[in-house]
Amino acid sequence: MTAPRALRATKQRAAVSDLLDRLADFRSAQEIHEELRRQGEGIGLTTVYRTLQTLADGGEVDVLRSAGGEAVYRRCESSAHHHHVVCRRCGAAEEIDAPMVESWAQEVAEKHGFSEISHTVEIFGVCRACT
């Protein structure tokens, strides 16, 4: 195994990863950048975007779109396919899995003649803390 992974261990990548570990909320790239700067990390916005992109591609973080259309990121516990209940006030999220919804989606799509199926299922609400 000649590690095909060409990722280099940099301070910036670690900083983003560490911050994600400490957050339980979906956050935008800009918010993450701002927070890291506040903590005194020297990191550029470009790098934050790039790092989040990389993490997302590797399935290490979940990405979804906020109501405003901007991408928000969060470290997920499980690397398996799952969905979220997200607080629309603070972004806090809990993971859920829904086997029955998975099969339902597959079935419905096939019935309509669609193939190569994917789906988005997210539940939004206001969490206990924000009520």
Partner DNA sequence: TGCGCCCATGATAGTGGTTTTCATCTAGGG
Partner DNA sequence: CCCTAGATGAAAACCACTATCATGGGCGCA
Binding site for DNA (CB under 7 A): 6-13, 28-30, 42-47, 49-51, 53, 68-71
Which of positions 38-97 make contact with a second copy (CB under 8 A)? 65, 69-71, 85, 87-88, 94, 96
Residue 31 Cβ, how far from a second copy at the closest point, in Å? Answer: 17
Beta strands 61-65 and 93-96, pairing class? unpaired
Tokens of 123: 């539940």
Residue 21 interface partner, choices DNA, a second copy, none, CB cut-off 5-8 Å depending on type: none
Estimate to the nearest angstrom the gap between the alpha carbon of 37 and the chain centroid: 21
Q: Where are the alpha helices (DSSP H) in 26-98?
A: 29-38, 45-57
Rounded distance, CA 114 to CA 129, Å? 41
Residue 115 interface partner, choices DNA, a second copy, none, CB cut-off 5-8 Å depending on type: a second copy
